[in-house]
Amino acid sequence: MTACLSYSRGLKPFLVKFLKAQEFPVLDDTIEGKVIIAAKHGQISRIPFVERLFYVLGLQKHSKETNKREVFNSLFGFFSAEAIGDFLLQSEAEDGTKKNTFRVSIKTSGKWRRKINSVKLAESLSRTVKKNSRLAANLRKPDVEFTVQITDNLLFVGIPNPNLLSTRPYHLKNGLRSTVCDAMVHLAELESGQIVADITCGSGSILVEASHSVLPEQIFCVGLDLCQDALITAKDNMEHQQKIDKSNSQFDLACTSVSDGFFRWENLDRIVADLPFGNQHGDLHDIKAILLPTVLQKFFTPSNAQTERKIAVLLIAEEHSVEFVKSVKETLGVSIDKHSISLGFTSAMILKIWK
């Protein structure tokens, strides 16, 4: 099958690197927000960094000079009886569920937003689907959804997998988008037996993903937070992950501030944390005043037992990243990689700091 993987801004390098490492045939990675691959059903149920998966019914690039008739000829050609039948055959064989109903959704942009009546086009395509298959229309809760996207340079018809790839069975209550956790954990380069700390633990999403990523090996996870309720949620999430994954990783949670001075930061192997974006738990000045001398400086101090480099991976608001990076480099003399990403309408930066 040909599949389309959709991703959020900034995660493409992580996704493409993973696909090549796993030897997935990448057919096209030049389309913004999408990577097209060839794969068998069942192979792509757990690809990290991906929001959604689409079975590709049709894909065609075109220029701004392409006219409406040319677009419609290609579009209706994608809805052939053979193409729909092949999808139904493969899909029903995979999940054992017969597909009986469908709907068509249309999304246009650029000049096509003015030139195409999306409602009428959806109705016309629905008649074609009924003619070429046994499916019946159902606008509320269909078994199959045909998603059509028409832009100035692309015509795409896909059938989305109803299950988001970013929704994981081992996550109970996710506080941070799992695809972002994927990227942060990947940058941390975790290995079996390491001690990994999240100094702003919250609901424990990063530590849950960290524990899952090293399976069947184990790590020791430490979570710190000032909010007792958040740590209760983190405890539930971690126990759920251990049960679902049958994980042997160990977790320890503490309701405390990183400035309390009780923790020996130099004994950690990795720090992976989502730093506060707003003013509820302190602004950038507070973060620098506490994090640099109290945590990072001690963390990167070489110990007698240290044999490998240490890595800290921090998620920070993009607007704060320039000043924060400058302060970290001046204070610690470390190397820093920067990865700009999107958190919905918020721009953020993942910093990989190592020494």
Write the pLDDT tens digit of every residue in 234-269.
999 999 999 999 999 999 999 988 887 778 898 899
Please give the CATH number for the structural domain made up of 2-160.
3.30.2130.30
Q: Which two tokens stand for residue 80?
A: 């052939």
- Residue 264 has what pLDDT? 87
Question: Rounded mean pLDDT of 293-314?
Answer: 82
d(CA 180, CA 341): 8
Among residues 42, 40, 41, 56, which one has the least CA distance to residue 5? 56
**What is the mean pLDDT of the segment spanning 46-53?**
91
- Euclidean distance between the first and final Cα of the chain, in Å? 44
What lies within 8 Å, CB to CB, of 219 at 6+ separation is 190, 191, 192, 193, 194, 195, 196, 210, 211, 249, 250
CATH topology identical between 2-160 and 178-354: no
- In this structure, are residues 47 and 176 in contact, taking their beta carbons and an 8 Å threshold? no
> 135-183 pLDDT, tens per residue?
999 999 999 999 999 999 999 999 998 877 888 899 998 889 999 999 9
Q: For the chain, what is the mean pLDDT?
A: 91
- Is residue 354 within 8 A of residue 271, CB to CB? The reply is no
DSSP-derived secondary structure for 54-109: EEEEEEEE--TT--HHHHHHHHHHHT-HHHHHHHHHHHHHHH-----EEEEEEEE-
pLDDT for 292: 81
**pLDDT for 111-122, tens place per residue?**
999 999 999 999
pLDDT of residue 277: 59
Give the pLDDT confidence score for residue 228 in this predicted structure: 94
pLDDT at 41: 67
Grouping H, G, I as helix, E, B as strand and the rest as coil, residue 275 is coil
Give strand ranges (E) for the chain: 2-6, 26-28, 34-38, 52-61, 101-108, 136-137, 144-150, 154-160, 195-198, 220-225, 250-255, 270-274, 311-317, 335-343, 346-354
Q: At the topology level of CATH, where does 178-354 sit?
A: Rossmann fold (3.40.50)
- Alpha-carbon distance of 353 to 355, in angstroms, equals 7
Query: Which of 321 and 185 is assigned the larger pLDDT?
Result: 185
Q: Which of these ranges, 10-14, 77-81, 207-211, 288-292, has the smallest mean pLDDT?
A: 288-292
Give me the residue spans of the domains in the chain. Answer: 2-160, 178-354
Do 8 and 51 form a contact (C-beta atoms < 8 A)? yes
Could you tell me the pLDDT band of residue 279, with boundaries at 50, 70 and 90? very low
Residue with tokens 């990783």: 249
Q: Is the pLDDT of residue 304 over 60?
A: no
**Higher-confidence position of 102 and 45:** 102
Tell me the per-residue pLDDT of 54-107, one tens digit each, with 9 for 90 and over: 999 999 999 888 999 999 999 999 999 999 999 999 888 887 889 999 999 999
Q: Is the pLDDT of residue 42 over 80?
A: no
**174-195 exposure pattern, b = at least 16 Cβ within 10 A, e = fewer:** bbbbbbbbbbbbbbbebeeebe
